[in-house]
Structure 1
């Protein structure tokens, strides 16, 4: 099956980020009508500029996804502008790269709020209309670290494991309703989302990074193909599968990388 994105009404969270901007342009090129959601004044200004310069068929919405009223208002803006929405893309996320014994308690809370609760609550906001219509798609953008518990990313991995589990359970619940769920798991992406230490790790080949335009194109492809799951980047996509069957093999590989990871996660010169 193939989903034609022409005139589809798509609400995209995290639209001002590196992947988000590329994804907005890629979806617009397919003829989609967009609701681009940003949290801060700066992100909204950036999105307004993107819409104006690229002449996107889009509205810009400011909302803090951890706020229930803001989530409802964002969905209502789509109803006002386009009469509803056909696709929800939960892209917004936060990351804290450090070893867990040094993690800040508030950062753990925020990772769970933004990476897990917000996508679940957004899905809950849009599902009644989708179910009533008998069509729609919820797209949750996770991470390969949602399948591989990675040193230095304990809270982030936990949140993405949860998002993957939610996506799987919801997809099974919705079987036969006409509403689908797609879970996309990129590996590290070359954007400001990752702190400088992670970029240094990539330069020293402790991890691989993809360009945001490449990731955005594959998210679009996964939506068009109505994929249940899409794991991006090799060999991480293989390790994600392997970790579910033979985690001891992945343990061995990560043990070799641990000294280098420790240096960057703890900020050791």
Structure 2
């Protein structure tokens, strides 16, 4: 995938992985339009523009029309916005469940729905989606997040196959645990207790760019997480047993997060 002279719409570009993508994209010669609910948090500099976009809004499709009218030269989209909450299902409110679906899955589908016909008419374009290892492995305390990310992985796979006879590129990248402000302290403590490796946003951003530059269809980040994804798809009972052993530790931090 060509990055030089490309105009990317970056969703979720004011924090975590998205923010770490901005500089490398600009250095590669791309122009970046950072869309978020808080455009004032974007550093204003050459090659970077900031626009307001609410991915959870009911009228997201209309917002996208106005954005495209303002920036008709967009020829790439990177969706790395996301929400999560480490909590038992019974502890989550309906609004929290809706937010998980709206931001993590619905917005990705609406953004793709908006840009696919525009990119097809232009003769090419790129759609990049940042998922999660939890889009392939269900993890206790992340039922809603896993459901949305499983959906995102399935959506991108189906979309890629739907567009296989076009010039459009669909890329799915699945990071493992990443050190972002989205994680509550209970999650950080859980990762330490379980010995989970945690990547920096910069490391994940580098992997995303590699997947884009190499025209990869999908990339799973981290070892042994990539192996667990394969095992979970073939022999899920092995992963069931491994997580059953971890469950007392997970519950300890899950309850800590509930009480805080």
Q: Is this a same-fold pair by TM over 0.5?
A: yes
Cα distance, 1:205 vs structure 2: 3.3
Name 1:4's counterpart in structure 2.
Answer: 2
Pick aligned residue for 1:45 from 29, 40, 43: 40
TM-score (ref. length: structure 1): 0.91
TM-score (ref. length: structure 2): 0.94
CA distance in 2 between partners of 1:123 and 1:24 (Å):
21
**Pair 1:112-2:107 in alignment:** no
Pick aligned residue for 1:186 from 145, 156, 175: 175
Name 2:33's counterpart in structure 1.
Answer: 35
CA distance in 2 between partners of 1:125 and 1:171 (Å):
15
Name 2:230's counterpart in structure 1.
Answer: 241
Deviations 1:175-229 (A, max 9, x none): 1101121111001100101111111112223422100000001101111111111
Cα distance, 1:70 vs structure 2: 4.4
Pick aligned residue for 1:230 from 207, 219, 228: 219
The answer to whether the 8 A contact 1:206-1:257 is kept is no
Counting only pairs closer than 5 Å after superposition, residues 12-31 of structure 1 correspond to structure 2 as: 12-31=10-29
Pick aligned residue for 1:73 from 39, 63, 81: 63
Local SS of the residue matching 2:3: coil
Cα distance, 1:74 vs structure 2: 4.3
Local SS of the residue matching 1:201: helix
Pick aligned residue for 1:60 from 41, 44, 50: 50
**Pair 1:253-2:251 in alignment:** no
Pick aligned residue for 1:94 from 83, 97, 100: 83
Local SS of the residue matching 1:198: helix
Structure 1: gaps spanning 5 or more residues: none
Aligned in 2, Cα 1:70/1:100: closer, same or farther, shift over 3 Å?
closer
CA distance in 1 between partners of 2:65 and 2:222 (Å):
32
Cα distance, 1:75 vs structure 2: 5.5
Deviations 1:3-23 (A, max 9, x none): 220110100100011111111
Structure 2: gaps spanning 5 or more residues: none
Aligned Cα root-mean-square deviation (Å): 1.6
The answer to whether the 8 A contact 1:8-1:86 is kept is yes
Deviations 1:249-269 (A, max 9, x none): 111111111111001112179
Query: Which segment is superposed worse, 142-151 or 205-214?
Result: 205-214
Cα distance, 1:89 vs structure 2: 0.8
**Pair 1:176-2:171 in alignment:** no
Local SS of the residue matching 1:140: strand
- Matched residue count: 258
CA distance in 1 between partners of 2:209 and 2:130 (Å):
12
Name 1:85's counterpart in structure 2.
Answer: 74
The answer to whether the 8 A contact 1:63-1:71 is kept is no
